[in-house]
Each structure stands twice: as structure tokens, then as C-alpha cells.
Amino acid sequence: MPEPPRPHQQTNTILVGTASWSDPGFISRWYPRQLRPDERLAWYAQHFQLVEVNSTFYSVPDTRTVERWCAQTPDGFTFDVKLHQLFSFHSTTAKLLPPELQREAQVDDRGRVKRTPLLQKKLLRIFLGTMSILRREQKLGVLLLQLSPAFSPRKHDLSELDDLLAQLADYPVAVELRNRGWVRGEQLRSTIDFLTQSNAIFVNVDAPSVEHFTILPPDLNELTNPQFAYLRLHGRNAEAYLKGKTVAQRFDYDYNDSEIQEIASRARNLAADGRRAHIIFNNNNLDYAPRAAARLRIALGHMAASPPRPQTLELF
């Protein structure tokens, strides 16, 4: 008898979630007031079947932390995990590395870690060792490589990602480009061809419709992997996106019902041909993200994977 598909590998399934589960606005506006911090993830998992882990961008979690994530979530729950910032061409200080690597990392005169193939290889080994816990429990979804806006086609080449993507060949990897130059004119086809040949997932975005080098056009719906599609929703507040000093300020946007219907149509198209579409709301001011995600699940109907029935009062 063939093995049944894993819960997060159902065909034609759209998973909806938010970028992190512990933003300040979630705590003050969305979670029940009496809920303890160690109860939030379990409560989140009663409402959504997917979450994107943001903390791994800054540090590698210890094994006990990841084991708690698994214990607090039901079978079929999925964690998409951001890769550490050392891999994404962001400036990184040694204190953000695991302790065993802090001592051997070379730094420049400004305290920034020098990226070397050996250091990245060692960090990836530690990172994947921790992620093996999620993988063992069938709760690891996609690894997200969120590149720095400084990673531009004027100064870099996509082939610089070859070694990392080769080392992650056994994992689904989504690549979010944060420099518009990669999708301008003829460069777009070269970018899509590279990701397709690498079997990586192009991260489509919903973002302000303004011409700025850090904002990708929101009308792209590129599919570069036969199994996965990815859409991150940053909101449409152009002034906040460009001038905001904090995450909450940059992504201060509350999607209206008409926009949710528009996103639902886009998600259905991304989920065509048997792909699993991961839809992540990153409009993390106040409780905008979880409430928008809940409305999108309703708009998608049967195409959206449903979490277990909540044991607490539904607040939507």
C-alpha cells in the first residue's frame, strides 16, 4: 500500500499564515489577554496551519526550543523557516552566530563578520541539524532566503547562490529578492531561468505599487518550482514602507475585503497544476496580519487547508 501524503504536501492546497506568531501587536490585540507566552503558539495553531519563523534570521534556535515548537503544534502544522542572515548578504555581527562559531569568525574593523565558504558551511551544518527536528516531525515546510537589497545585479551575480542552493538541494528553498533590478526588463527572464534551473522558489510579493529599488513589482506571479509557490504580503502603504523605522511602521497596512478577494484569486492561480501555495501575511502592525489571514482562509473556502477546530472562542 502506498504511503499517504504528508499533511503539508496535499496537492492543490493553499496554506495561509503570518510572518512570526509573537509580534507585539499580536500580543496586545489578537491573543486572549489571559494567555501565557508559552501558550501562544498552540493557540495560533488552532487558527492557522502555517507560520513563517522570523527569529531564525537572527540566531539559530537551540534544540529544546524547536522541540517545544513541535510539542505545541498539531500534526500537519508547517513551519516555513528563514535562513540565517549570514547567507543572505546582510551585514552580520559575530554575536548573532552560534557560540562555537563566534570564536573563529573573522570580522572587519567595523565588527562585521567576513563571509567565507567555510564559515557558511559550518553554520549551515548547525542550522540544518536543528531543523532536522522539524523535518523528523514532518513540520518543516520551506526554507526562506531573504536577500539583502544590497544584493543587486550591478554588484552581484545569482551564481553566487550556487553553493548554498546546492547544499540545500534536498530542501525546498524560496528566494525573496529585495532589489528591483533582478526583475527589470530582460533581467527578469534571466532571474527566472536561474531559479527554475536551481529548483528554487521565486517569492512573489504584494507590496506598494511604486518604483523603488527595494520594492519588487506586485504584479509578478512567477512559478519556478513544480511543487511550491510562495506569496508574501507586505501591505500597500508606500510611505510607511519607505520611511518606517520599525517593522510595525513599515508594514502598517490593513487589507480591506475587496483586496482579500483579489489575493484569494491570485493564490488560486499560484496553486494551479498541483502546486502547494504558501501565503504569508507580513503586514505586522497591530493585529492586521492574523485577521487578514483569517479572512483569506474564508475567501479561499475548500482550497485553504483548515487547522483543527479551535478550543477557544474564535475572535474573528
Residue 109's pLDDT band (cuts 50, 70, 90): confident
Give the residue among 69, 73, 72, 88 at the shortest CA–CA distance from 130. Answer: 69
Residues 6 or more apart whose Cβ sits within 8 Å of residue 234: 205, 206, 207, 208, 241, 250, 251, 253, 282, 283
C-alpha cell at 94: 559575530
Give the residue among 127, 25, 141, 1 at the shortest CA–CA distance from 78. Answer: 141
What is the enclosing helix (H) or strand (E) of 143? strand 140-146
The verdict on pTM exceeding 0.95 is no
What is d(CA 91, CA 93) in angstroms, rounded to the nearest whole number?
7
Q: What percent of the chain has pLDDT over 90?
A: 81
Residue 290's pLDDT band (cuts 50, 70, 90): very high
**Alpha-carbon Rg of the chain, whole angstroms?**
19
For cell 551564481, name the residue: 159
Answer yes or no: CATH 3.20.20.410 is held by domain 7-303: yes
Between strands 201-206 and 50-53, the pairing is: unpaired
Q: Please report, for the chain, the start and end positions of each structural domain, with discontinuous segments joined by +.
A: 7-303
Q: What is the pLDDT of residues 129-188, one digit of tens each?
A: 999 999 999 999 999 999 999 999 999 999 999 999 999 999 999 999 999 999 999 999
Q: What is the pLDDT of residues 9-63, one digit of tens each?
A: 444 589 999 999 999 999 999 999 999 999 999 999 999 999 999 999 999 999 9
What is d(CA 86, CA 92) in angstroms, rounded to the nearest whole number?
6
DSSP string, 255-290: --HHHHHHHHHHHHHHTGGGPEEEEEE---STTHHH
